Structure 1
Amino acid sequence: MRFLVPFKQIIFDFDGVLLQSADLKTKAFAHAYEDEAPELINAVVAYQEAHGGIGRREKFRFFERSIFGRQASEERIDALCAQFKSFISDRILEVPEVAGARALLEYLHGNVKMHVVSGMPQDELDDICARRALTSFFENLIGVPVSKPEAFASILKSEGCSPLEVLAIGDSTTEFEAARDLCIPFLAVVPEGATNKFPPGTCSLRDFSGVKSTLHKMRTCATSSRMSS
Protein backbone atom coordinates (compact mmCIF):
# COMPACT_ATOMS: atom_id res chain seq x y z
CA MET A 1 0.00 0.00 0.00
CA ARG A 2 1.24 3.43 -0.86
CA PHE A 3 -0.31 5.06 2.22
CA LEU A 4 -0.34 3.02 5.41
CA VAL A 5 -3.62 2.65 7.30
CA PRO A 6 -2.95 3.08 11.05
CA PHE A 7 -5.93 0.94 12.16
CA LYS A 8 -6.92 -2.71 11.84
CA GLN A 9 -10.67 -2.03 12.03
CA ILE A 10 -12.81 0.93 10.97
CA ILE A 11 -16.40 1.42 12.11
CA PHE A 12 -18.53 3.69 9.91
CA ASP A 13 -21.83 5.29 10.74
CA PHE A 14 -24.16 5.27 7.73
CA ASP A 15 -26.39 8.36 7.40
CA GLY A 16 -24.26 11.46 6.91
CA VAL A 17 -21.05 9.44 6.70
CA LEU A 18 -21.46 7.11 3.73
CA LEU A 19 -24.65 8.64 2.32
CA GLN A 20 -25.76 12.27 2.42
CA SER A 21 -28.99 11.09 4.01
CA ALA A 22 -29.00 12.86 7.37
CA ASP A 23 -31.16 15.71 6.01
CA LEU A 24 -33.58 13.21 4.48
CA LYS A 25 -34.09 11.56 7.88
CA THR A 26 -34.72 14.98 9.47
CA LYS A 27 -37.34 15.75 6.81
CA ALA A 28 -38.97 12.37 7.45
CA PHE A 29 -39.42 13.17 11.15
CA ALA A 30 -40.85 16.60 10.31
CA HIS A 31 -43.19 15.02 7.74
CA ALA A 32 -44.50 12.57 10.35
CA TYR A 33 -45.69 15.58 12.39
CA GLU A 34 -46.71 17.87 9.54
CA ASP A 35 -50.13 18.55 11.10
CA GLU A 36 -48.69 19.73 14.43
CA ALA A 37 -47.88 23.31 15.45
CA PRO A 38 -44.80 24.76 13.69
CA GLU A 39 -42.94 25.40 16.94
CA LEU A 40 -43.35 21.75 17.93
CA ILE A 41 -42.14 20.56 14.53
CA ASN A 42 -39.13 22.85 14.97
CA ALA A 43 -38.44 21.17 18.31
CA VAL A 44 -38.56 17.75 16.63
CA VAL A 45 -36.11 18.93 13.97
CA ALA A 46 -33.76 20.48 16.52
CA TYR A 47 -33.66 17.28 18.57
CA GLN A 48 -33.07 15.13 15.50
CA GLU A 49 -30.22 17.33 14.32
CA ALA A 50 -28.58 17.17 17.74
CA HIS A 51 -29.10 13.43 18.32
CA GLY A 52 -28.42 11.55 15.11
CA GLY A 53 -27.60 7.87 15.37
CA ILE A 54 -30.46 6.92 17.71
CA GLY A 55 -33.13 4.53 16.45
CA ARG A 56 -36.36 6.07 15.19
CA ARG A 57 -38.63 4.16 17.60
CA GLU A 58 -36.72 5.59 20.56
CA LYS A 59 -36.94 9.07 19.04
CA PHE A 60 -40.66 8.84 18.35
CA ARG A 61 -41.25 7.76 21.95
CA PHE A 62 -39.24 10.78 23.11
CA PHE A 63 -41.11 13.15 20.80
CA GLU A 64 -44.53 11.88 21.86
CA ARG A 65 -43.70 12.11 25.56
CA SER A 66 -41.40 15.11 25.85
CA ILE A 67 -42.45 17.39 22.98
CA PHE A 68 -46.13 16.58 22.50
CA GLY A 69 -46.87 15.62 26.11
CA ARG A 70 -48.70 12.37 25.45
CA GLN A 71 -48.17 8.72 26.16
CA ALA A 72 -48.19 6.99 22.78
CA SER A 73 -49.24 3.38 22.40
CA GLU A 74 -47.03 0.91 20.56
CA GLU A 75 -49.62 1.03 17.76
CA ARG A 76 -49.04 4.79 17.47
CA ILE A 77 -45.26 4.29 17.40
CA ASP A 78 -45.68 1.56 14.77
CA ALA A 79 -47.74 3.93 12.62
CA LEU A 80 -45.19 6.73 12.91
CA CYS A 81 -42.35 4.35 12.01
CA ALA A 82 -44.29 3.08 9.00
CA GLN A 83 -44.90 6.64 7.84
CA PHE A 84 -41.21 7.44 8.29
CA LYS A 85 -40.16 4.34 6.33
CA SER A 86 -42.57 5.14 3.50
CA PHE A 87 -41.17 8.67 3.24
CA ILE A 88 -37.53 7.58 2.89
CA SER A 89 -37.87 4.21 1.11
CA ASP A 90 -37.39 5.38 -2.48
CA ARG A 91 -35.77 8.72 -1.78
CA ILE A 92 -32.79 7.17 0.01
CA LEU A 93 -31.82 5.27 -3.13
CA GLU A 94 -31.37 8.60 -4.90
CA VAL A 95 -29.38 10.32 -2.16
CA PRO A 96 -25.76 10.93 -3.24
CA GLU A 97 -22.87 9.32 -1.42
CA VAL A 98 -20.66 11.47 0.75
CA ALA A 99 -17.88 12.79 -1.47
CA GLY A 100 -15.00 10.32 -1.69
CA ALA A 101 -16.73 7.64 0.40
CA ARG A 102 -16.76 4.90 -2.23
CA ALA A 103 -13.20 5.64 -3.33
CA LEU A 104 -12.10 5.32 0.30
CA LEU A 105 -13.97 2.02 0.73
CA GLU A 106 -12.39 0.65 -2.44
CA TYR A 107 -8.94 1.68 -1.24
CA LEU A 108 -9.38 0.17 2.21
CA HIS A 109 -11.14 -3.02 1.11
CA GLY A 110 -8.90 -6.04 1.61
CA ASN A 111 -6.41 -4.06 3.70
CA VAL A 112 -8.45 -3.19 6.78
CA LYS A 113 -11.66 -4.68 8.14
CA MET A 114 -14.65 -2.36 7.93
CA HIS A 115 -18.00 -2.36 9.70
CA VAL A 116 -21.19 -0.28 9.58
CA VAL A 117 -22.98 0.53 12.82
CA SER A 118 -26.18 2.49 12.23
CA GLY A 119 -29.30 3.68 14.02
CA MET A 120 -31.29 2.34 11.08
CA PRO A 121 -33.39 -0.82 11.53
CA GLN A 122 -31.37 -3.91 10.59
CA ASP A 123 -33.59 -5.01 7.71
CA GLU A 124 -33.52 -1.56 6.08
CA LEU A 125 -29.76 -1.26 6.52
CA ASP A 126 -29.25 -4.65 4.86
CA ASP A 127 -31.61 -3.76 2.01
CA ILE A 128 -30.18 -0.31 1.27
CA CYS A 129 -26.57 -1.50 1.37
CA ALA A 130 -27.43 -4.35 -1.00
CA ARG A 131 -29.30 -2.11 -3.42
CA ARG A 132 -26.50 0.44 -3.42
CA ALA A 133 -23.77 -2.21 -3.88
CA LEU A 134 -22.09 -1.46 -0.54
CA THR A 135 -22.49 -4.75 1.33
CA SER A 136 -19.35 -6.43 0.01
CA PHE A 137 -17.08 -3.81 1.56
CA PHE A 138 -18.03 -4.67 5.15
CA GLU A 139 -17.46 -7.45 7.64
CA ASN A 140 -20.63 -6.51 9.51
CA LEU A 141 -23.72 -4.37 9.02
CA ILE A 142 -25.20 -3.69 12.46
CA GLY A 143 -28.45 -1.81 12.91
CA VAL A 144 -31.24 -1.41 15.45
CA PRO A 145 -32.15 -3.05 17.80
CA VAL A 146 -28.44 -3.27 18.68
CA SER A 147 -27.26 0.00 20.25
CA LYS A 148 -24.03 1.65 19.18
CA PRO A 149 -22.24 1.00 22.50
CA GLU A 150 -23.23 -2.66 22.28
CA ALA A 151 -22.15 -2.90 18.64
CA PHE A 152 -18.78 -1.24 19.26
CA ALA A 153 -18.07 -3.52 22.21
CA SER A 154 -19.11 -6.56 20.18
CA ILE A 155 -16.70 -5.67 17.38
CA LEU A 156 -13.83 -5.28 19.83
CA LYS A 157 -14.61 -8.69 21.32
CA SER A 158 -15.25 -10.59 18.09
CA GLU A 159 -12.18 -9.18 16.34
CA GLY A 160 -9.94 -9.60 19.38
CA CYS A 161 -8.41 -6.15 19.04
CA SER A 162 -7.60 -3.33 21.42
CA PRO A 163 -9.55 -0.05 21.25
CA LEU A 164 -6.54 1.80 19.83
CA GLU A 165 -6.54 -0.54 16.82
CA VAL A 166 -10.04 0.63 15.88
CA LEU A 167 -11.27 3.91 14.39
CA ALA A 168 -14.90 5.01 14.60
CA ILE A 169 -16.13 7.51 12.00
CA GLY A 170 -19.40 9.33 12.56
CA ASP A 171 -21.33 12.56 12.31
CA SER A 172 -23.22 12.52 15.61
CA THR A 173 -22.49 12.60 19.32
CA THR A 174 -24.15 9.19 19.69
CA GLU A 175 -21.26 7.31 18.08
CA PHE A 176 -18.74 9.79 19.50
CA GLU A 177 -19.85 8.93 23.04
CA ALA A 178 -19.91 5.18 22.30
CA ALA A 179 -16.32 5.42 21.01
CA ARG A 180 -15.16 7.65 23.87
CA ASP A 181 -16.54 5.32 26.53
CA LEU A 182 -14.57 2.41 25.03
CA CYS A 183 -11.42 4.53 24.38
CA ILE A 184 -11.80 4.05 20.61
CA PRO A 185 -10.31 6.86 18.48
CA PHE A 186 -12.96 8.91 16.70
CA LEU A 187 -13.02 10.86 13.43
CA ALA A 188 -15.93 13.27 13.03
CA VAL A 189 -17.57 14.09 9.72
CA VAL A 190 -18.69 17.73 9.81
CA PRO A 191 -19.99 18.85 6.40
CA GLU A 192 -19.22 22.35 5.19
CA GLY A 193 -21.68 24.79 6.75
CA ALA A 194 -22.80 22.35 9.45
CA THR A 195 -22.51 23.07 13.18
CA ASN A 196 -19.63 21.22 14.79
CA LYS A 197 -21.23 19.38 17.72
CA PHE A 198 -18.02 17.76 18.93
CA PRO A 199 -15.65 18.79 21.74
CA PRO A 200 -12.69 20.99 20.84
CA GLY A 201 -9.75 18.95 19.62
CA THR A 202 -11.86 16.20 18.04
CA CYS A 203 -10.32 15.07 14.73
CA SER A 204 -12.68 16.01 11.92
CA LEU A 205 -13.06 16.34 8.17
CA ARG A 206 -15.76 17.63 5.84
CA ASP A 207 -15.92 14.54 3.64
CA PHE A 208 -13.57 11.90 2.22
CA SER A 209 -12.35 13.83 -0.80
CA GLY A 210 -8.86 12.57 -1.51
CA VAL A 211 -7.77 9.23 -0.08
CA LYS A 212 -4.37 10.62 0.87
CA SER A 213 -5.80 13.51 2.92
CA THR A 214 -8.32 11.19 4.58
CA LEU A 215 -5.59 8.77 5.62
CA HIS A 216 -3.59 11.70 6.97
CA LYS A 217 -6.56 12.54 9.21
CA MET A 218 -6.68 8.90 10.33
CA ARG A 219 -3.00 9.00 11.26
CA THR A 220 -3.63 12.23 13.20
CA CYS A 221 -6.40 10.46 15.15
CA ALA A 222 -4.15 7.50 15.82
CA THR A 223 -1.28 9.66 17.05
CA SER A 224 -3.40 11.89 19.30
CA SER A 225 -5.22 8.90 20.78
CA ARG A 226 -2.05 7.02 21.61
CA MET A 227 -0.47 10.11 23.16
CA SER A 228 -3.48 10.60 25.44
CA SER A 229 -3.80 6.93 26.46
Structure 2
Amino acid sequence: MSAETRNPLPFPRAILFDLDGTLIDSVPDLAASVNELLESRGLPELSLPEVRSMIGNGVRKLVQRAFAAQASPLTEAELDEANREMVQIYSRQLTRLTSLLPGAQEAIAHLHINGVKLGVVTNKPQVATREILLHFGLTDRLGAIVGGDAVTHMKPAPDALFLALDQLGVEPSQALMVGDSITDVEAARAAGIPVVLIRGGYTKAPVEELGADLICDSLKDLPAALNELRKAA
Protein backbone atom coordinates (compact mmCIF):
# COMPACT_ATOMS: atom_id res chain seq x y z
CA MET A 1 0.00 0.00 0.00
CA SER A 2 1.12 3.52 -0.71
CA ALA A 3 -0.73 6.53 0.63
CA GLU A 4 0.39 10.11 1.08
CA THR A 5 -1.30 12.29 3.71
CA ARG A 6 -1.16 16.09 3.76
CA ASN A 7 -3.25 16.80 6.87
CA PRO A 8 -4.76 14.72 9.69
CA LEU A 9 -8.27 13.55 8.79
CA PRO A 10 -11.14 12.60 11.08
CA PHE A 11 -12.48 9.07 10.50
CA PRO A 12 -15.66 9.61 8.47
CA ARG A 13 -19.23 8.51 9.17
CA ALA A 14 -19.93 8.90 5.46
CA ILE A 15 -17.87 8.69 2.28
CA LEU A 16 -18.94 10.20 -1.04
CA PHE A 17 -17.37 8.71 -4.16
CA ASP A 18 -16.98 10.26 -7.56
CA LEU A 19 -17.87 7.82 -10.36
CA ASP A 20 -15.88 8.21 -13.60
CA GLY A 21 -12.17 7.72 -13.04
CA THR A 22 -12.74 6.83 -9.39
CA LEU A 23 -15.04 3.80 -9.28
CA ILE A 24 -15.28 3.02 -12.99
CA ASP A 25 -13.27 3.32 -16.19
CA SER A 26 -15.89 4.66 -18.59
CA VAL A 27 -13.54 6.02 -21.24
CA PRO A 28 -14.12 3.20 -23.78
CA ASP A 29 -17.91 3.66 -23.81
CA LEU A 30 -17.69 7.44 -23.75
CA ALA A 31 -15.21 7.39 -26.62
CA ALA A 32 -17.37 5.03 -28.68
CA SER A 33 -20.38 7.27 -28.06
CA VAL A 34 -18.70 10.58 -28.85
CA ASN A 35 -17.11 9.09 -31.96
CA GLU A 36 -20.52 7.90 -33.16
CA LEU A 37 -21.76 11.45 -32.66
CA LEU A 38 -18.79 12.93 -34.53
CA GLU A 39 -19.21 10.44 -37.36
CA SER A 40 -22.85 11.49 -37.75
CA ARG A 41 -21.55 15.00 -38.43
CA GLY A 42 -18.90 13.81 -40.89
CA LEU A 43 -16.02 14.39 -38.47
CA PRO A 44 -13.09 12.03 -37.77
CA GLU A 45 -12.82 9.92 -34.63
CA LEU A 46 -10.92 10.84 -31.49
CA SER A 47 -8.50 8.42 -29.81
CA LEU A 48 -9.07 6.98 -26.34
CA PRO A 49 -6.35 9.22 -24.81
CA GLU A 50 -7.90 12.27 -26.45
CA VAL A 51 -11.35 11.48 -25.06
CA ARG A 52 -9.88 10.65 -21.67
CA SER A 53 -8.33 14.14 -21.51
CA MET A 54 -11.73 15.71 -22.21
CA ILE A 55 -13.68 14.00 -19.41
CA GLY A 56 -14.78 16.17 -16.51
CA ASN A 57 -17.65 18.59 -15.83
CA GLY A 58 -20.30 16.39 -17.45
CA VAL A 59 -21.34 14.98 -20.82
CA ARG A 60 -22.21 18.37 -22.30
CA LYS A 61 -18.68 19.63 -21.67
CA LEU A 62 -17.25 16.46 -23.24
CA VAL A 63 -19.31 17.08 -26.39
CA GLN A 64 -18.20 20.71 -26.50
CA ARG A 65 -14.55 19.75 -26.14
CA ALA A 66 -14.79 16.97 -28.72
CA PHE A 67 -16.17 19.23 -31.44
CA ALA A 68 -13.70 21.99 -30.58
CA ALA A 69 -10.84 19.49 -30.91
CA GLN A 70 -12.01 18.75 -34.45
CA ALA A 71 -11.93 22.46 -35.33
CA SER A 72 -15.72 22.44 -35.44
CA PRO A 73 -16.87 24.44 -32.40
CA LEU A 74 -20.61 24.48 -31.70
CA THR A 75 -22.96 27.36 -31.01
CA GLU A 76 -25.05 27.05 -27.84
CA ALA A 77 -28.06 25.85 -29.85
CA GLU A 78 -25.92 23.32 -31.74
CA LEU A 79 -24.37 22.16 -28.46
CA ASP A 80 -27.82 21.64 -26.93
CA GLU A 81 -28.82 19.46 -29.87
CA ALA A 82 -25.53 17.54 -29.95
CA ASN A 83 -25.70 16.96 -26.20
CA ARG A 84 -29.22 15.51 -26.46
CA GLU A 85 -28.04 13.17 -29.20
CA MET A 86 -24.95 12.19 -27.20
CA VAL A 87 -27.07 11.30 -24.18
CA GLN A 88 -29.24 9.05 -26.35
CA ILE A 89 -26.23 7.35 -27.93
CA TYR A 90 -24.45 6.85 -24.62
CA SER A 91 -27.57 5.47 -22.94
CA ARG A 92 -27.44 2.51 -25.34
CA GLN A 93 -23.93 1.48 -24.29
CA LEU A 94 -23.37 2.57 -20.69
CA THR A 95 -21.75 -0.71 -19.64
CA ARG A 96 -20.71 -2.39 -22.87
CA LEU A 97 -17.01 -1.55 -22.43
CA THR A 98 -16.98 0.15 -19.01
CA SER A 99 -15.31 -1.67 -16.12
CA LEU A 100 -14.88 -1.25 -12.38
CA LEU A 101 -11.51 0.14 -11.36
CA PRO A 102 -9.25 -2.04 -9.20
CA GLY A 103 -10.43 -2.27 -5.60
CA ALA A 104 -13.78 -0.53 -6.15
CA GLN A 105 -15.98 -3.50 -5.32
CA GLU A 106 -13.84 -4.53 -2.37
CA ALA A 107 -13.53 -1.03 -0.89
CA ILE A 108 -17.25 -0.38 -0.99
CA ALA A 109 -18.05 -3.79 0.49
CA HIS A 110 -15.49 -3.31 3.28
CA LEU A 111 -16.71 0.16 4.20
CA HIS A 112 -20.35 -0.86 4.08
CA ILE A 113 -19.76 -3.86 6.33
CA ASN A 114 -17.94 -1.58 8.78
CA GLY A 115 -20.88 0.78 9.06
CA VAL A 116 -19.69 3.71 6.92
CA LYS A 117 -22.54 5.37 5.02
CA LEU A 118 -21.76 5.54 1.32
CA GLY A 119 -22.87 7.68 -1.60
CA VAL A 120 -21.92 8.46 -5.18
CA VAL A 121 -21.77 12.07 -6.38
CA THR A 122 -21.10 12.58 -10.07
CA ASN A 123 -21.67 14.97 -12.95
CA LYS A 124 -22.99 12.07 -15.03
CA PRO A 125 -26.80 12.13 -15.45
CA GLN A 126 -28.79 10.48 -12.67
CA VAL A 127 -30.46 7.72 -14.72
CA ALA A 128 -27.20 6.68 -16.36
CA THR A 129 -25.38 6.70 -13.02
CA ARG A 130 -27.95 4.47 -11.35
CA GLU A 131 -27.97 2.05 -14.30
CA ILE A 132 -24.18 1.69 -14.20
CA LEU A 133 -24.10 1.17 -10.45
CA LEU A 134 -26.91 -1.37 -10.69
CA HIS A 135 -25.04 -3.22 -13.44
CA PHE A 136 -22.01 -3.60 -11.18
CA GLY A 137 -24.09 -4.60 -8.15
CA LEU A 138 -23.22 -1.56 -6.03
CA THR A 139 -26.59 0.08 -5.44
CA ASP A 140 -27.54 -2.00 -2.39
CA ARG A 141 -24.57 -0.60 -0.49
CA LEU A 142 -25.19 3.04 -1.43
CA GLY A 143 -27.47 5.27 0.59
CA ALA A 144 -27.27 8.17 -1.86
CA ILE A 145 -26.78 8.43 -5.63
CA VAL A 146 -26.69 11.99 -6.94
CA GLY A 147 -26.18 12.73 -10.64
CA GLY A 148 -25.33 16.05 -12.21
CA ASP A 149 -28.89 16.69 -13.35
CA ALA A 150 -30.27 16.21 -9.83
CA VAL A 151 -28.94 19.61 -8.73
CA THR A 152 -28.89 23.14 -10.11
CA HIS A 153 -25.09 23.41 -10.08
CA MET A 154 -22.84 20.42 -10.79
CA LYS A 155 -19.41 19.84 -9.26
CA PRO A 156 -17.19 21.75 -8.61
CA ALA A 157 -20.14 23.42 -6.87
CA PRO A 158 -20.96 21.67 -3.57
CA ASP A 159 -24.71 21.22 -4.25
CA ALA A 160 -24.56 17.51 -5.08
CA LEU A 161 -22.40 16.76 -2.04
CA PHE A 162 -24.82 18.55 0.27
CA LEU A 163 -27.78 16.70 -1.27
CA ALA A 164 -26.08 13.33 -0.84
CA LEU A 165 -25.15 14.05 2.77
CA ASP A 166 -28.70 15.16 3.49
CA GLN A 167 -29.94 11.84 2.11
CA LEU A 168 -27.41 10.00 4.27
CA GLY A 169 -28.25 12.04 7.36
CA VAL A 170 -24.63 13.03 7.93
CA GLU A 171 -23.12 16.48 8.52
CA PRO A 172 -20.25 17.65 6.27
CA SER A 173 -17.93 17.66 9.29
CA GLN A 174 -18.40 13.88 9.52
CA ALA A 175 -17.86 13.13 5.82
CA LEU A 176 -15.10 12.48 3.31
CA MET A 177 -14.97 12.82 -0.48
CA VAL A 178 -13.08 10.33 -2.66
CA GLY A 179 -12.34 11.33 -6.25
CA ASP A 180 -9.71 11.60 -8.93
CA SER A 181 -9.63 15.21 -10.17
CA ILE A 182 -9.48 18.89 -9.34
CA THR A 183 -13.27 19.01 -9.78
CA ASP A 184 -13.63 16.70 -6.78
CA VAL A 185 -11.13 18.68 -4.73
CA GLU A 186 -12.89 21.96 -5.43
CA ALA A 187 -16.33 20.50 -4.69
CA ALA A 188 -15.12 19.02 -1.41
CA ARG A 189 -13.44 22.26 -0.37
CA ALA A 190 -16.61 24.22 -1.18
CA ALA A 191 -18.58 21.79 1.00
CA GLY A 192 -16.03 21.89 3.82
CA ILE A 193 -15.22 18.19 3.43
CA PRO A 194 -11.76 16.54 3.42
CA VAL A 195 -10.87 14.88 0.13
CA VAL A 196 -8.94 11.76 -0.88
CA LEU A 197 -7.68 11.40 -4.44
CA ILE A 198 -6.97 8.10 -6.18
CA ARG A 199 -4.09 7.97 -8.64
CA GLY A 200 -4.72 6.91 -12.22
CA GLY A 201 -8.01 8.74 -12.76
CA TYR A 202 -8.92 11.33 -15.35
CA THR A 203 -7.00 14.30 -13.96
CA LYS A 204 -4.94 16.29 -16.43
CA ALA A 205 -2.52 17.55 -13.76
CA PRO A 206 -0.35 15.40 -11.47
CA VAL A 207 -2.46 14.27 -8.54
CA GLU A 208 0.14 15.59 -6.09
CA GLU A 209 -0.55 19.14 -7.32
CA LEU A 210 -4.30 19.12 -6.69
CA GLY A 211 -4.26 19.79 -2.95
CA ALA A 212 -5.88 16.60 -1.65
CA ASP A 213 -5.70 15.70 2.05
CA LEU A 214 -4.79 12.10 1.25
CA ILE A 215 -3.55 10.35 -1.91
CA CYS A 216 -3.90 6.60 -2.47
CA ASP A 217 -2.39 4.58 -5.30
CA SER A 218 -5.71 2.80 -5.84
CA LEU A 219 -9.01 2.07 -4.11
CA LYS A 220 -7.39 -1.13 -2.87
CA ASP A 221 -5.43 1.08 -0.45
CA LEU A 222 -8.36 3.13 0.82
CA PRO A 223 -9.69 0.82 3.58
CA ALA A 224 -6.23 0.38 5.10
CA ALA A 225 -5.57 4.12 4.96
CA LEU A 226 -8.90 4.80 6.69
CA ASN A 227 -8.11 2.19 9.32
CA GLU A 228 -4.98 4.16 10.13
CA LEU A 229 -7.16 7.24 10.49
CA ARG A 230 -9.45 5.34 12.85
CA LYS A 231 -6.51 4.38 15.04
CA ALA A 232 -5.32 7.98 15.12
CA ALA A 233 -8.77 9.41 15.90
Q: TM-score, normalised by structure 1?
A: 0.73
> Quick check: 2:64–2:74 contact (8 Å CA) kept in 1?
no
What are the equivalent positions in structure 2 for 1:70-85 lying under 5 Å apart? 70-71=74-75, 72=78, 74-85=80-91
Deviation at 1:201, TM superposition (A): 5.4
Deviation at 1:73, TM superposition (A): 5.8
Asked whether 1:128 is paired with 2:132, we answer yes
> Quick check: 2:11–2:230 contact (8 Å CA) kept in 1?
yes
Q: Distance in 2 between matches of 1:220 and 1:30?
A: 44
- Percent sequence identity over aligned pairs: 22
Instruction: Quickly say closer, same or farther: Cα 1:108–1:70, change in 2 above 3 A.
Output: closer
Q: Which amino acid is 1:82 matched to?
A: Q
Asked whether 1:12 is paired with 2:17, we answer yes
Deviation at 1:55, TM superposition (A): 2.0
Deviation at 1:124, TM superposition (A): 1.6
The equivalent residue for 1:207 is 218
Asked whether 1:153 is paired with 2:162, we answer yes
The equivalent residue for 2:37 is 32
> Quick check: 1:163–1:185 contact (8 Å CA) kept in 2?
no
> Quick check: 1:172–1:197 contact (8 Å CA) kept in 2?
no
Q: Distance in 2 between matches of 1:89 and 1:151?
A: 22
Instruction: Quickly say closer, same or farther: Cα 1:221–1:153, change in 2 above 3 A.
Output: farther
> Quick check: 1:12–1:170 contact (8 Å CA) kept in 2?
yes
The equivalent residue for 2:4 is none
> Quick check: 1:190–1:196 contact (8 Å CA) kept in 2?
no
Within the candidate set 217, 221, 224, 2:225 is matched to: 217
Deviation at 1:48, TM superposition (A): 5.1
SS of residue matched to 2:84: helix
Within the candidate set 177, 197, 209, 1:168 is matched to: 177
> Quick check: 2:14–2:116 contact (8 Å CA) kept in 1?
yes
Q: Distance in 2 between matches of 1:59 and 1:222?
A: 39
> Quick check: 1:125–1:143 contact (8 Å CA) kept in 2?
yes
Structure 1 gap ranges (5+): none
> Quick check: 1:10–1:166 contact (8 Å CA) kept in 2?
yes
The equivalent residue for 2:144 is 140
Asked whether 1:180 is paired with 2:189, we answer yes
Q: CA RMSD in A?
A: 3.6
> Quick check: 1:9–1:165 contact (8 Å CA) kept in 2?
yes
Deviation at 1:179, TM superposition (A): 0.6
Q: Which amino acid is 1:114 matched to?
A: L
Instruction: Report how many residues are paired.
Output: 211
Q: Distance in 2 between matches of 1:47 and 1:220?
A: 37
Deviation at 1:130, TM superposition (A): 2.0
Structure 2 gap ranges (5+): 1-9
Instruction: Quickly say closer, same or farther: Cα 1:63–1:24, change in 2 above 3 A.
Output: closer
